[in-house]
Each structure stands twice: as structure tokens, then as C-alpha cells.
A and B are shown apart, each in its own frame.
Chain A
Amino acid sequence: MERRALLNLFVKVGILSLVAAKVPAQPVIRKTPTHGNKRAHFSPETDQLGRFYLSACPEDTPYCRKLMLELGYSPANPLKVDHGLGRVFSKQIRNDFRVGNTFILCGWVLSRTELRLATLNIL
């Protein structure tokens, strides 16, 4: 994937909002207005990013699955979005950068956690 295409994808995915504690996991995990508990669905751009990550780093697939299991996520059972979840991700992503748990995808230096989150819908 060309770097420019990946950049455009990032802009659409708004991947950076994953790390903003005040905007929990949005719009990568898009809030779907429902009657009561809010549930989230992944955007097509997020899926594309996730696919690209897994093709570049297939050895990380078990860790992605582990995250999916820990979150109890499946397309049929999308994540319940709340501020607590956003804060956990945000803190974990910041910590990834602190300890160097990162991956370089087409030149972009990204947190493993945010990349694994992007794979949840396509595993």
C-alpha cells in the first residue's frame, strides 16, 4: 500500500483519536445510535488497515486474537463503547510508545495496540 494511500486511510480512520482519552476509540469504533446501550461497528477503513497490518506482520495474529477474546468482541457482538474502555486503550497505547511496543507500517510508527484493535473485525 502506498504511503499516501495509507495516510489518506489514517485521516479517514482517525486513528489518532484512539489515543485521545477524551474521545474514546472514535471513529475507529463508531458509535451506533441504538436504544439504550451503545454498540460500535468498525468502519471499512479500519478493516482495511487491519488487513494491511496482518499481511505485513502475520506473526502478530495470535496477539490480535487474544485481544479479541479478552474484549469478548465479534462482529455479531460489537464492543460496548464507554469512556472506561477508551481510557484503557488510550493509556495502553501511550504505554506502547513509552516502552517501544510499536510497529512501523509503511513508515508510520504506530502502537501495537492500536494496530491490533484495527484487526478485530477481520480476524
Chain B
Amino acid sequence: MFSDISDIETGAINGDICLVGAGAAGISLAKQFLNSPHKVILLEAGGLEYEESTQALYRGESEGLMYFPLASARLRYFGGSTGHWGGACTPLDAIDFEKRGWLPHSGWPFQRTELEPYYPMAQKICGIGPFDYRTEYWSDPEKSPALPLADTGIQSRIIQNSNPPLRFGTAYRTDLEDAKNIQVVLHANVLEFVADTENENITGVNARNIDGRRLHVKARIYVLCAGGFENPRLMLLSNKQYTQGIGNHNNLVGRYFMEHIYVSDAGKLMLSEPRNMKLYERHNVNGTDIRTGLCLSQDAQRSDKLMNAWVGFKLKGAPSSQRRYSSLNYLKRSIRNGEIPEDLWRHIGAAIDDLGDHIKRKFTGDKPNKRKDKTIIGFSTHSEQAPNPESRVHLGEDIDEFGQRTLVLDWRLTDIDHASIRKTLERMAHGFGMADLGRIMTEFSGNDDGWATQDSTQGNTTPSGSFHQMGTTRMHSSAKEGVVDSNLKVHGLNNMYVAGSSVFPTCGWSNPTLTIVALSCRLADHLKLTLS
């Protein structure tokens, strides 16, 4: 059932579960309760479509490394940021869950095996192929062979693409509309969680629309699924009963902000002979759109003490094409919001990247170069960020239309981040040399401090984010080191949970959506047990 906050005459509704946010996490959670005995209330701040006035509520500032404007980096309507995601799906690696001695603050409170039952469900929800990421499953020895990388410490690594990217709001609207036990309330901007400090419970949430209509929701369990920026913001704003904010006893809410570090021109690979690189282009295999890149094996990461990273070759369907798509959308949204991004030049460059070639081919009738055999290939990197408590979001001094403080992002990288990518590329170069496959040129020089000091002379290795906001309400078994426990329950509260990428303690290199959905499915199982 769908309703609007303005339709609820009493200004109050009750249920068993209150979900705040109808993005990938919230919708995935709600789906797990379809036609169950439990009443689920799903609160969405926006409407069914993009609205400028609602989107403007996402504005904020950035005071650290250059980042996308906060109002354009995420979407505030039913479906959330799945309304502009690129569709890339891949699970985290086992090593991403481990406590790595060379990486402070690493380690999830459970291993990857804990998510194994939920990744296949997540694959279906994201609209992609089977849960099989083995190279041998997707490659073909004749048509799309994998590079012969045995014993080099390098492995090929698959990404499956939801193509076209599944918009959760469109795909699952009917399911939620038809479910008698699920009430979606639109334009319900949650302003605060109300707590009973004595019993350590949340007793309700207060929501409002822009016109002033109010709503109070009471439930047995509350789950915050509003995204990597808004999750910590709402917890910090809920400070009437817990003055430092909900779940913030140890000043951790908002800290450990992580992004996937994207470097567009990270280097070049010169192959010793032309090779068929089709596997590493974006192409379709048995109905599933895939791309393949390279990572260091988990053993190589352990032996060399490196973080995880993915190298993507600039071939057909490469990040330059995806980046053009993302940048065009981003520019469109920024224009709608009346904003001029600080990194305007970068997005214009990405948006017109190889557009000249497309126009030229239109007039000349030339076909694009379809040679599969490549010798010199550029590549980009997509890398894990080291958890850093000083990289954070916090409340600023600006006030929004509801009188609430907006968000400030202070994204920081350290020399560990730069050094890990630099050494990863050198390690890959060694692997290619050992196997007689070719030589690698890396743009990463020895100046590992440049990112930490925001040295503007980084040239080609200037880092960019990937629209993946993670880590700001991180998971840890101890309340001293995390905001939520292994079941995603907020430490110090009995009935509040957080879902989404804000709970990631580390982020690997993998695009987060598949893991967000898998974690949501796992949380749903936990909540069903709790409610019963």
C-alpha cells in the first residue's frame, strides 16, 4: 500500500517494523517481509519521482578532498540512489572481511561465509546472473580467453552488470503496493528518532513533509536505511535524549567515511604480442553483461601487505564510457540543483570523452575499431580505502528547510592509500614480466604523501570518488570501535538497526550494492527471529 504523509489524517501510525529510507537497503528489506504476519512501515522522504525541492534537502558541504556535491551524489525519492547507479555488481572477497595486521581498523565481525547464503538472493534482487564469479565460468578459450596469469599473483576478476541498471523503485513498486502488510509513506522526511534512555529503546520516529504535515511512527523495531551520508546525519540529529546523538557514545557516528578510490589514468599495459582481450571488454555472456579486470590474488595481498584493488582496461565498455554516462547524469542533476560542481572540468572531460570519435564516425561512416587484438592498453584503478577515523561526516552550521543542520563531508586519504595502489601496480608489473606477457607503466610515483596533503600536483593520479559512501556507522563487536554490532543493531539500544553501506568496516574494491542487498536479506532473517 502506498500513501502520502499528507493523507494520514491522524498524524500517527503503528507497525512492527519501521524502515527509514526506500533505497536498495530499505526496499530489499521490505521485500523479505512481503505478505508476512508483520506490519512494515517504509518511510520515504521523497515521492515516486525526482523532485527538486526534496532533492535540495540533500545539500551539504565538503571540506576535505574534492568530492561530488552532496546534493548530486545521491537521490532522494522512492528507489533511492538505485535511480542513478551504474548496475555494477560483485561480492566482497574473503580477505575483505579479515582482520589484516597491516591495515588498522580492518576486520568484520564475521567472515564472508556468513553472507554466502544471501549473495545468491541479492543477485536475483539486483537483476543479474548466477552467483558465480569464477573466470572459467565466463571466459571462452577461443572467443574470450583469460590472460595466462597462473603463478603470477594476479587473477582475473569479474563484474556482472545489471543492464540496464535495475531501478529498484520501478522494479519493486508493484510488489510493495500489492502487499497488504506493507505501508509505504511518501514525503515522510524523518527528522529524529525518539529514545527512552532508561530502557535503551527507540520509542518512535518523527517525520514531516515540506508543507509542515507531521507524522509520528511507532514500531517494535526501527531500521535506518537512508544511505552512507544520511544514516549518520539522522543519528547525530537525534540528540534530544542522547545529547551526543543516537549510538554515538564513543564519538564514532560519521567517522571512517570511505570511498572507492578511482583513478582514471593509472597507467598503461604494453603486451608482448597482440592478444584477444574480449574477456576484458564489457560484453554479454549467456544473457549477463560482464566486465573483467585484474586484482592481486588474496595470497599476494597478504604476502605484500596490500589492500584490495581492481585494474580495469580501457577497452570497449570501459570506465571511460561508464564514466561518461555517470558524468552526464551528474552534470544534469547539478544543473537542476543550480549548482556548479567544483570538479566541473573533470565531468565535462569525461562527458565528452571519445564523443568526438562518435560524431566523426557518424559523418564518415567509419566503423569503430573492432580489433579484438590489443597491444598497448590504458587502465584505470578502483581501490579500497584504508579505514581512517579522521575521514568523516559531521553536522555543519547551515540549516535546512526543517531547521536541521546539514552535513559536512571531510574526505581524507592517507599515504597508506597511495602506497598500496602504487605497490599493487608494481606487483602486477612483476607478474606480467614473470609470465612474459608484457610491461606495465604506472602513473603512481613514489610521492605517497600527495593525497594526504592534498597536493594539487598529483596529475594523472588525482583521486576521485565512485559515488560509494561507506563506513560511517561501522560494524564492530565492541561498542568502543563500532556503531553497530554483527547483527547491525546499534550498540546501546535494543531495537534500532542500521542497514546499507554505512555499516561496512572495510570496503574492498567491490561495488557495494550487491553486498548492501545481501546484508539487508541477512538482517531480515535476524529481525524475523527477533520478532518471533
On A, residues with C-beta under 8 Å from B are 3, 7, 10-11, 15-17, 19-21, 90, 93-94, 96-98, 100, 102, 104, 106-111
Contacts and interface: CB of A to CB of B under 8 A. Distances in A.
B493 interface: no
B350 to A, nearest CB: 21
A7 B267 contact: no
Interface string B424-442: 0110011111111011111
Interface in B398-447: 425-426, 429-436, 438-443, 445
A97 B272 contact: no
A94 to B, nearest CB: 5
Contact of A98 (B273, B425, B434, B445): B434
Given A7-B376, A107-B267, A107-B443, A102 B430 contact: yes
Interface of B: 267-268, 270-273, 376, 425-426, 429-436, 438-443, 445
24 contacts: A7-B270, A7-B441, A15-B439, A16-B270, A16-B271, A16-B272, A16-B439, A19-B272, A20-B273, A20-B436, A21-B436, A94-B433, A94-B434, A96-B433, A97-B429, A97-B433, A98-B430, A100-B430, A104-B442, A107-B267, A107-B443, A109-B429, A109-B439, A110-B439
Contact of B442 (A90, A109, A111): A109
Given A20-B272, A107-B445, 7 more contacts: A7-B268, A17-B272, A20-B273, A93-B433, A94-B436, A100-B430, A109-B429
Contacts of B273: 20
Nearest to B442: A107
Nearest to A98: B434
Contacts of B272: 16-17, 19-20
A108 B376 CA distance: 13
Contacts of A107: 267, 441-443, 445
CB-based closest 8 A-B pairs: A97-B433, A109-B429, A16-B272, A107-B441, A97-B434, A97-B430, A108-B441, A19-B436
A84 to B, nearest CB: 18
Which one of B268, B429, B431, B436 has the greatest number of beta carbons of chain A within 10 Å?
Answer: B436
Contacts of B440: 108-109
A40 B199 CA distance: 87
Which one of B273, B440, B441, B442 has the greatest number of beta carbons of chain A within 10 Å?
Answer: B441
Contacts of A11: 270, 376
A107 B432 CA distance: 15
B374 to A, nearest CB: 14
A99 B294 CA distance: 21
A108 to B, nearest CB: 5
Contacts of A15: 439
B177 to A, nearest CB: 56
A111 B436 contact: no
